[in-house]
């Protein structure tokens, strides 16, 4: 009888211990500290460490994904275009990069040109920097009335027969000299191909410059009904520009920490910069919702600082995948979200057939690991070196 009582008591105690076990917390498996290197890309190139650290880690390394309902050749503004716009005479160079747009309803078009890729700031050329812009609508303001505020009289002055040109071509040299041409350029652009009949301009010193040629966008093939990456910020360069870590704590606290170290000298001392952002998190299924709270403030007059409209929220939803010591967070944002006008505009931008663009979205993929990365380094790449060659310009004689 005593044995039965003892066994019953033991079973009761065991049941009580099991029932008192801590219940599973949603997202418990991803709690802890996770580390991610911050690779440099065109958003972080040239910025100070304060600029980089002052933003959420989700601000970089995104991809642009499009889906069409038929096979398409989408124009690629990131790649070198086919053909060339040639300069000859006072300057002998080829222009290979353009960024243009066209409104199919009005026929208005504008194009910017350069001899370097805007999207790869770390690969600046050693040749003179060339930039140009032209459109087919601003010339309507030539010889029009211009109204200018006159500080000395405290009133508006009305001027007539003012010649105002928005088209320009500029050539800038390392020693600060430059050539600039402001005129109306003859050109045609259909959204994919730019044609400039050769035009001759006279420089101030009597030299001439010929300007003309044909450029056609490179393209990316997009198969029907297949989400296709057409642009990515990730992995553009290999320079390390600091590291991010996230600490996912029990109780819904999310802490992002940005760390950057600058070697101070040969003695091994470092200058260390750390910036943190605190948010809140919760999990539903395979999605983690991170909510940032920002205090809205406003200024009145020159000195008074006052409270604004209180706190506003910004929430990012990441699907997450954990594999051992690796954690991947993925966020997607649909740009047009079914808006037909938005889709139509991007069809013009990408050179797609009308009615063929089904979806355009941005995808952020952030990869973390449990192991802290090696010490970061200050970015001293070619971007700063090349920019330093171009002092304030002086007119070439």
* pLDDT the model gives residue 45: 55
Q: Indicate the helix (H) or strand (E) that contains 383.
A: helix 382-387
127 alpha-carbon distance from chain centroid = 26
Structural contact between residues 117 and 103, judged by C-beta atoms closer than 8 angstroms: no
| 136 exposure class (CB count in 10 Å sphere: 0-12, 13-18, 19+) | buried
* pLDDT of the chain, 397 residues: tens digit per residue: 544 444 444 445 444 544 455 567 788 999 999 998 666 555 555 566 566 656 666 555 678 899 999 999 999 988 899 999 999 999 999 999 999 988 888 888 999 999 888 766 544 556 789 999 999 887 544 444 445 566 677 765 555 444 556 788 999 988 888 888 888 899 999 999 999 999 999 987 778 999 999 999 999 999 999 999 998 765 544 445 677 889 999 999 999 888 776 655 555 566 677 778 888 999 999 999 999 887 655 555 555 454 445 566 788 899 999 999 999 999 888 889 879 999 998 998 899 999 999 999 988 888 899 988 765 444 443 333 333 333 333 333 2
Residue ranges per structural domain of the chain: 28-68+224-380, 78-216
Query: What is the torsional sign of CA 81, 77, 125, 241?
Result: negative
Q: What pLDDT, on a 0 to 100 scale, did the predictor assign at position 53?
A: 59
Beta bridge partners of 95: 85
188-189 and 193-202 beta bridge pairing: antiparallel
pLDDT at 117: 82
Considering the entire predicted model, what is its pTM?
0.66
Rounded to an integer, what distance in angstroms lies between the CA atom of residue 158 and that of residue 142? 15
pLDDT for the residue numbered 249: 95
Q: For 79-167, list the strands marked E by DSSP.
A: 82-89, 93-95, 97-102, 109-114, 129-135, 144-150, 155-162
Instruction: List residues bridging with 346 in a β-sheet.
Output: none
In Å, how far are 221, 297, 313, 340, 341 from 335, measured between CA atoms? 21, 29, 20, 11, 12
Residue 50's pLDDT is 60
- As a residue count, the chain comes to 397
Strands (E) in 118-239, as ranges, are 129-135, 144-150, 155-162, 168-172, 177-182, 188-189, 193-202, 208-216, 218-222, 228-232
Residue (of 310, 288, 281) closest to 298 by Cα position: 310
Nearest to 369 by CA among 57, 35, 39, 30: 35
């Amino acid at each position: 009888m005593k044995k039965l009582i003892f066994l019953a008591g033991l079973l009761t105690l065991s049941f009580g211990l099991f029932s008192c076990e801590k219940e599973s917390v949603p997202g418990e498996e991803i709690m802890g500290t996770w580390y991610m290197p911050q690779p440099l890309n065109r958003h972080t190139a040239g910025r100070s460490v304060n600029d980089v650290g002052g933003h959420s880690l989700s601000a970089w390394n995104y991809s642009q994904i499009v889906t069409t309902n038929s096979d398409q050749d989408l124009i690629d503004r990131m790649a070198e275009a086919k053909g060339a716009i040639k300069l000859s005479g006072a300057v002998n160079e080829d222009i290979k990069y353009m960024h243009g747009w066209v409104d199919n309803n009005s026929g208005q078009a504008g194009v910017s040109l350069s001899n370097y890729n805007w999207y790869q700031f770390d690969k600046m050329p050693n040749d003179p920097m060339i930039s140009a812009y032209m459109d087919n609508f601003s010339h309507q303001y030539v010889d029009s009335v211009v109204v200018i505020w006159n500080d000395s009289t405290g009133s508006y002055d009305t001027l007539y027969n003012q010649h105002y040109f928005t088209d320009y071509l500029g050539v800038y040299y390392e020693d600060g000299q430059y050539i600039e041409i402001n005129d109306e350029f003859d050109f045609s652009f259909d959204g994919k191909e730019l044609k400039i009949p050769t035009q001759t301009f006279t420089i101030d010193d009597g030299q001439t410059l010929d300007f003309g040629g044909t450029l056609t966008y490179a393209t990316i093939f997009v198969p029907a009904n297949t989400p296709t990456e057409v642009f990515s910020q990730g992995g553009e360069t290999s320079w390390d520009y600091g590291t991010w870590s996230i600490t996912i704590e029990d109780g819904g606290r999310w802490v992002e920490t940005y760390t950057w170290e600058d070697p101070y000298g040969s003695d091994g001392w470092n200058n260390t910069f750390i910036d943190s952002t605190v948010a809140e998190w919760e999990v539903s299924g395979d999605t983690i919702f991170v909510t940032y709270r920002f205090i809205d403030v406003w200024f009145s007059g020159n000195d008074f600082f006052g409270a604004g409209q209180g706190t506003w929220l910004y929430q990012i939803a990441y699907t997450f995948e954990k594999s051992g010591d690796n954690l991947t967070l993925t966020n997607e944002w649909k740009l047009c979200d079914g808006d037909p006008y938005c889709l139509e505009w991007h069809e013009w931008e990408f050179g797609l057939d009308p009615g063929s663009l089904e979806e355009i979205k941005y995808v952020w993929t952030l990869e973390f690991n449990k192991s802290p990365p090696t010490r970061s380094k200050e970015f001293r790449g070619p971007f700063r070196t090349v920019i330093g060659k171009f002092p304030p310009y002086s007119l070439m004689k």
